[in-house]
Structure 1
Amino acid sequence: MSPQTWMITGVNSGFGRELTQQLLDRGDRVVGTVRNTAKVSDFTEAHPDTFIAELLEMTDTAAVRELVDRKFRDLGRIDVIVSNAGYGLFGAAEELSDTQVGDIVATNLTGPITLIRAALPHLREQGGGRIIQISSYGGQVAFAGNSLYHATKWGIEGFCESVAQEVEKFGVGVTIVEPGGARTEFRYGSARVAELMPVYDDTPAHAFLQMLDPANGLAPGDPALMATRIIESADQQPAPLRMVLGSVALQSTIATLQKRIADFETQTEIAASTDIK
C-alpha cells in the first residue's frame, strides 16, 4: 500500500502520539498539531521528511480553517483527518465555572466541528478520504461528574453521524471512535477538575476522584493497541460509523442502550396519543 498523508490534532500525548508514532514507523506522512512544538521534537528529529509539526489552538477557529486550507494546498492531498485534540473536565455541573464550560465546548466540540467543516470541500474535491473523530464511550454513556464532557462528546457524535450521511456519495467516510478507559494522559495528567464543593462529597458527582487516582488501579485500555485498531479502520470499506475500543466500554454501551430502548418501548401509547387523528 502506498504511503498516506494524515492530519492529526493533538499529537503531543495520548492517542495522538501513539497514532503518529505508528504511522511514521510504517512510512506514512503526518501533519501533527500541538500547542508546544518542543513536545514533539523527537518526531521532528527522527522523521524530518515525513513529520510536520504545526502550532494550533483548537479554540481559534480562524486558525483551524487557515491551517487546513494551507496544508491541503501545500501537500496536494490529505488522506485522513483525525480529530483527536480534547480533554476531560470533571465536577458536578454547578461546580463548573462559566470559563471552564466555554473552554471545553470550544476545544472538544466547536473546534472539531470547524476542523471537519474546513476539510470537507478538500476531501470532496480530491474524490474521497476519511474523517476519524476520537470520541469516547462517554458519547453514549453518561456518568455523574462528567456533564460537560458528555455534552461535547454527545454533540460531536450527532454532528459526525449527520455529516457521514451527507458526504458518503463523494467517497468521504466518517468514523466515530469510542474508546474506553486507557492508560493515557487524558486520565492521568491532563484531566481538569472543577473547584469541588463539600456538599457533593460522598455522592456520585465525586466518584470520578477514585478513577483519577492511579493508586486505585490503572485503566485497562492499551493506547498502542487502540491506535493500531484506529489506523486499520482507515482502510475499511465502507467506513465503520462507530468503533468501540475496550471490552468494558462495549459492555457498558450495550447495557445502556438496551436500557434506553426498553424505556422507549414503554412509551408506545403516550407517543401515539399525541398524533393528529
Structure 2
Amino acid sequence: MTQRTWFITGVSSGFGRALTQQLLQKGDRVIGTVRSHGKVEDLLENWPKTFSAPLLEMTDSAAVRRTVDDAWRQHGRIDVVISNAGYGLFGAAEELSDDEIQQIIATNLTGAIQLIRSALPHMRQQGGGRIIQISSYGGQVAFPGNSLYHATKWGIEGFVESVAHEVAPFDIGMTLVEPGGARTEFRYGSARVAKLMPEYDTSPAHAFQSMLDPANGLAPGCPERMAARIIESVDINPAPLRMVLGSKALQNTIAVLRQRITDFETQRKQAASTDIPDGR
C-alpha cells in the first residue's frame, strides 16, 4: 500500500486528533499543526519518523503560507491537505464583541482560505492532490445563537465550491465535510460563549446552552467513525464535493433544502417579472 503524506491543521483534539491517530496507525505520514505541543507529545514520541507538529496560529496569514511552503520543501509531495482548525462561538449577534467577531472570522474563514490558497500552487506543480475542508452541516442549516459560526461556514462553503471548479482541470479534488454533532471538544470544551444579555434569556438565541451541557445528553456522532469516513473519501474519484456525516445532520439538511426549494418555486412569477421582455 502506498504511503500518503497528509497536512492537517488543528490536530490537538477533535477530528484533527482522530484523523492523525488513524493515519499514523496505518503507516501514513502526517504534518499536523498545533498551537502548542502539550496535547501531541505522545504522538511525537510514538511516531517520530512519520509525525511532525509545526506550531501555527491560523490567524497569521504569513505564517500559514510559510508553514505550508516549508512542509512541501521538506517532504517533496503532500497528497492531502485537511483544513480542520476552527472553533464555535455562541451567542446572539448583539451579544458578540467586535474582537470575538474578528477572531472567529480570522480563524475559521480567512485562515482556511489562506491555507487552501497556499496549497494550490504546490498541488498544481505536483500534478494533483486532494483538499478537504472540515465545514459543518451548519454550513447549510442555521440555528439561532450561532450567527457568526454560520457566517464562517457558509462563507468557506461558497469559497470551496467555486475553487473546486477552478482547479478540477489540474486534478485537484476538493471536498466539504459537513459533520453533525459529535462527541469532541468542539462542543464540550473549546466552544466559546459571548457575554450573554438577560434580554435574550427568553429568546431562541440562548437555546444553545442546553446543547453545550453534557448532562442533557451527548451528541450522537462518533469522532473516530467520522474520521474513518473522511479518510476513505480520498479514494473516491471524482472527489465528492460535499459529504454529510451523521444521520440527524443529513435529515435536517434535506428538510431545510426542500423547504428552500419550495420557497423558491413560489417566486417564479416574481422573478420573471424583472426580466427584459424578449425582442427588446
Task: Give distance in 2, aligned partners of 1:266 and 1:18.
Answer: 45
* Correspondence 1:91 to 2:91: yes
Deviation at 1:39, TM superposition (A): 1.4
Task: Give distance in 1, aligned partners of 2:137 and 2:38.
Answer: 31
Q: Aligned pair count? A: 277
The equivalent residue for 1:271 is: 271
Q: Secondary structure at the match of 1:133?
A: strand
Deviation at 1:70, TM superposition (A): 1.1
Task: Give distance in 2, aligned partners of 1:168 and 1:233.
Answer: 17
Q: Runs ≥4 in structure 1, deviation > 3 angstroms?
A: none
The equivalent residue for 1:235 is: 235
Please list, as runs of the form range in 1=range in 2, the aligned pairs for 1:1-40 lying within 5 A after superposition. Answer: 1-40=1-40
Task: Give distance in 2, aligned partners of 1:250 and 1:39.
Answer: 32
Task: Give distance in 1, aligned partners of 2:8 and 2:235.
Answer: 16
Deviations 1:92-133 (A, max 9, x none): 000000000000000000000000000001001100100000
The equivalent residue for 1:154 is: 154
The equivalent residue for 2:174 is: 174
The equivalent residue for 2:187 is: 187
Task: Give distance in 1, aligned partners of 2:50 and 2:263.
Answer: 51
Deviation at 1:37, TM superposition (A): 1.0
Task: Give distance in 2, aligned partners of 1:79 and 1:45.
Answer: 24
Task: Give distance in 2, aligned partners of 1:124 and 1:246.
Answer: 33
Residue type of the alignment partner of 1:41:
E
Deviation at 1:227, TM superposition (A): 0.2
Unaligned runs of 5+ in 2: none
Task: Give distance in 2, aligned partners of 1:249 and 1:205.
Answer: 20
Task: Give distance in 2, aligned partners of 1:205 and 1:194.
Answer: 11
Deviations 1:139-198 (A, max 9, x none): 000000000000000000000000100011111000000000000000000000000000
Residue type of the alignment partner of 1:178:
E
Residue type of the alignment partner of 1:183:
R
Task: Give distance in 1, aligned partners of 2:39 and 2:220.
Answer: 26
Residue type of the alignment partner of 2:68:
V
The equivalent residue for 2:76 is: 76
Task: Give distance in 2, aligned partners of 1:244 and 1:22.
Answer: 20
* Correspondence 1:165 to 2:165: yes
Task: Give distance in 2, aligned partners of 1:171 and 1:235.
Answer: 13
The equivalent residue for 2:130 is: 130
Task: Give distance in 2, aligned partners of 1:255 and 1:114.
Answer: 33
Q: Secondary structure at the match of 1:269?
A: helix
Residue type of the alignment partner of 1:92:
A
